[in-house]
Every structure is written in structure tokens, then in C-alpha cells.
A = this chain, B = another copy of it.
Amino acid sequence: MPAHLPAVLAACDRNRERDRADLFRLLAQPSISTQNVGVRECAGLVEAFLDGAGLAAQIIETPGHPMVFGERSGPPGAPTLLLYGHYDVQPPDPLDAWVSPPFEPTVRDGRVYARGAGDNKGQFFAHIAALRAWVETAGQLPVSVKVLLEGEEECGSPHVDGFVAAHRELLAADLVVTADGPAHHETRPQIEYGVRGLLYVEISARGAAHDLHSGNWGGIAPNPVWALVHLLGTVLSPAGEITVEGFHDDVRPLSPAARDAIARIPLDPGAALASVGLTRYAAPEDLGHVERLVGRPTANIAGLHGGYGGEGSKTIIPAEATAKLDFRLVPDQDPDDVYAKLLAHVRRHAPDVAVRRLGAMRPSHTALDHPLAAPLRRALATGFGAEPFDVPLVGGSLPDAVWTRTLGLPSFVVPYANHDEANHAPNENLVLDRFYAGIRTTAALVAELAADGR
């Protein structure tokens, strides 16, 4: 085991009461970015915690909510670890679905319940607690560490791209580690090597100036719902293939290493489906569970609305119809390029249909055999007491491409939170033992990177 690490781990174990109390202070501070509730107060608190852990901390303004940044240099020539996270949280509603109030952290059955417990305060605070244990125990860090905590992740991270591009020096590092998202497995930790990107669009069709009587106008007036149905039928086939021309141009085929990693992911597909009340997969049927998330982009209708939706019958030709679609993108697709192709497709098949872009995020990708994955694997094994497995790509989106594409760095996502953390939902929670395992993991990672760098 690397130098100092046994002593630091022992300190982590001794500090549990204090770390938990500090986490609770952080959770008690609302920081709802979409509603601008408590965000700046929370930024100040986070700055104070970074400062208390021995880092040089500062609040950096953006056009939106501020970033909180901290750094501490290690010995000359040591690698630099950049830890990314976010201190803002989702709105807590519906409030009456919470067993205990969302901003009054409460422990039940070994879990702390609070908004932000898992997403993301409990996870990034594990980093801070580990760094504090290191500095208090060893008087120094064996590598350079930077911490960037965003205040707008739950708004879709609108300013991270610009911030990172404008602060290349400040953020210079050898690797990025993000503790976010729920783990897939109860006991074994995981490393995620990329996230899917996203393109979100709204498409709208219009018919007559107002709803028409379907008897008096049926056969005469174009129906905008039919227009969307026929257009959408050209976007995804019943067989589950996206049929937008050029859509797959930049899809990177799964490498043998990725297929290998997928095969080793511990998963019971039947149980996974059953957990949400499903008995079958989306088309095509003959794909592995994980390959559906890792290997291919998706075209999803998040909503489609037009015409009468009440009880019983109403015989109208609707005047308008709107669909919201999200496309999950895989490396090396680019949302700008995909949007241009989608737009051309719509122009060709339904020139009267309007398309509006509501959001975009690039997919990210780090090679499975990147050498800096090795120290992270060892750290996770130390922290969680079980061998980690590799997930080449995860389904959800994070602004991870700012590291892999904008800065060209390897970036690893390691979820410390339990699979049932209920992020974005009522009764969000974090298993406290996983919080402590996360602290030990970050502590070990610092040591392993130092050992690795020698």
C-alpha cells in the first residue's frame, strides 16, 4: 500500500462523525439552481469546506450561478487530479411525497435522506473529506488536486463549455474524476469511461387556424397529428432503427475491449426489466441489455400531444400538434452535426413542420485501456472492498465532453451513490456506508496516483 495511505484511511474511519455532521450542514443548505434558491449561500459554504480541507478556494463567477474552485499543489512533477461535481440540486417537489423534509437530513436504516444526498453533495463531499484527512494526517497531498464544483448541472450545465474553454490553464490536469450517478451494483464499484450525449428537439405541425369538425372537414383539411405520425415514422423504423440519413455516420463501433467489458458487467437483465414493470425490450429484440445503452444512439419521443385528450370522444381535426424528442448520442457523434442532419431530414419529408432545438450535450469517451484507469481501479477496490467493473459508456448525460473533447483529458465517472438513490425524485437518499467508502476511495486514489506517477 502506498506511503501514508494506511494512516490516512485510519483517519477517514476516525472522522466519520465529523464528516457526517459536515455533510448534513451541506444538505441542510438548499441550492435549487432552476429556482435560484440558496445557490450562492451554498457556494459560500462549499468554499469554506474546501478552505477547511487545506485547499486554496475561490468562487468564480459565470453568466449564471458561480463555480466553486479549490486547488492544492503536490510535489513538483506529481500528476494533477481534477475532481468535478456540482453543488446545485433538483427542485424537491412534490413535497408531500417526502417522508422527512428534503432539507432536513434524516437518517433511517443507514441512509441519509435529503435532496442532494446522492446527487451530488454526498458524492463530491466525499472528495473533500478525503482531502481533509490527507492534509490533516500527512500535512500535504502527494499529488496536485483541483476541485471544480458547478452550480448549474441541474439546469443542463449551460456555462460549463464556455468556462472550461476560457480556463484551460486553471483546469490543466492529467485526469478528471467525477463521482456522480447511481451505481449499477449493490456491492461492486464501477468505472464509467464515457457518457452518452444528447440532442433535444421540439417539432410542431400546424393545420387550420383552429380545430375543425372532423365530419365537415375530414378528407379536406390536413391533420397535423397525422403529419407528425408520418414524419416520426421516417425517423425510427418499427424495427428500432433510426432512419435519419447520415445519423449513424460518426457512431464508433464497439471495440472488442468494450464488448469484453460489457460481457463482464454483473447484471440480471430480467430483474432489471422487472424492477420497472417491463417484460420485454424495445425493438430490436435481439440485443444485449447493456449494449442497448452503450452501443447505439436512441431516438426517444419524450412527449407527443395534439387534439383532444379528455374523457370520451370529441370529433375534431386538431389545429396543431407538438412532439418532444431526445436523441441519446454515442461517441463520436456530435449534436450539432446530428441536428443539421435531422433538420435536412424534416425539410425533405415534412417541409411545413417546425423544428426547435431545446438542448444538446456531446458524448464523451475515454479508452478502456487508459493507463490512469489502473490506479483508480486499485483505489475503488480499497475503498469499497470489492473489485470494480468497467462500463464503457453510460446512458445518462453529463457535461463530461468538456474534459475529453475540449481539454483532451481522460475522464472517469465513479458513482459512489447507491443504485436506488432516487435522484431527481422524492426521498433522495445515500447509503452512509457508501459515503464512507467513497471517502476512502478518494483518499486511496490520491495515494495510488502518486505511487503510479513515481
Binding site for B on A (CB under 8 A): 34-35, 90-91, 93, 97, 155-156, 181-182, 195-196, 198, 200, 202, 207-223, 225-226, 229-230, 232-233, 236, 238, 272-273, 276-278, 280-283, 287, 289, 292-293, 296, 298, 300-318, 321-322, 324, 326, 328, 358-359, 394-397, 422-426
Asked if residues A301 and B282 are in contact (CB atoms below 8 Å), the reply is: no
Task: Say how many copies of this protein the assembly contains.
Answer: 2
Mind listing 6 A-B residue pairs with CB under 8 Å? A208-B276, A302-B308, A304-B307, A305-B307, A305-B309, A313-B324
Asked if residues A321 and B304 are in contact (CB atoms below 8 Å), the reply is: yes
Asked if residues B220 and A230 are in contact (CB atoms below 8 Å), the reply is: no
Bound CA span A301–B232, Å:
15
Shortest Cβ distance from A247 into chain B, in angstroms? 14
Q: Which residues of B contact A212 (CB under 8 A)?
A: 276, 424-425
Q: Which residues of B contact A233 (CB under 8 A)?
A: 229-230, 233, 238
Shortest Cβ distance from A249 into chain B, in angstroms? 19
Bound CA span A210–B93, Å:
12
Asked if residues A322 and B309 are in contact (CB atoms below 8 Å), the reply is: yes
Asked if residues A298 and B422 are in contact (CB atoms below 8 Å), the reply is: no
Q: A236-B226, A314-B324 are in contact. Are A301 and B293 (CB under 8 A)?
A: no
Asked if residues A307 and B315 are in contact (CB atoms below 8 Å), the reply is: no
Shortest Cβ distance from A162 into chain B, in angstroms? 19
Name the contact of A324 in the complex, choosing from B202, B208, B289, B308 (C-beta under 8 A): B308
Asked if residues B397 and A215 are in contact (CB atoms below 8 Å), the reply is: yes
